Amino acid sequence: GVHKGMQGWITEPENINGYWLVNFPQCGEKNDIATIPVREEDVKVVKILDAHVNERIKVQFGKEVDQTKSFAEKPDDLSDYRI
């Protein structure tokens, strides 16, 4: 997912109801993280988009994702699930 501080580019020439549609890329041939509407007041202009910033932020949150188990992996042990 997208996290505060990630960099993206505005995909449409105009905002809609105060929201810009923003794409958040990753480095190289990796799939983009997401394209989401972002409130105008949450957008900050940067001179050069650097997808490496997104990679570093993603790693910080990746540990949390790596520690989660999918139901398909261990259907009999639900002790680690959050609801």
| Rounded mean pLDDT for each run of 10 residues along the chain, 83 residues in total | 95 96 95 96 95 93 60 55 53
Q: Which domain holds residue 76?
A: 1-83
The answer to whether the beta carbons of residues 45 and 70 sit under 8 Å apart is no
Question: What is the structure's pLDDT at 61?
Answer: 84
- Where residue 18 falls (left for φ over 0; alpha for ψ -120 to 50; beta otherwise) is left
Domain tally, the chain: 1
**Placement of tokens 């810009």 in the chain:** 20
**Residue 12 DSSP label:** S
Question: What is the structure's pLDDT at 62?
Answer: 77
Question: What is the structure's pLDDT at 13?
Answer: 96
pTM: 0.71
Question: What is the structure's pLDDT at 10?
Answer: 97
Question: What is the structure's pLDDT at 80?
Answer: 53
Question: Two tokens at 48?
Answer: 């050069």
Task: DSSP for 33-58, please give it.
Answer: SEEEEEEGGG----SS--HHHHHHHH
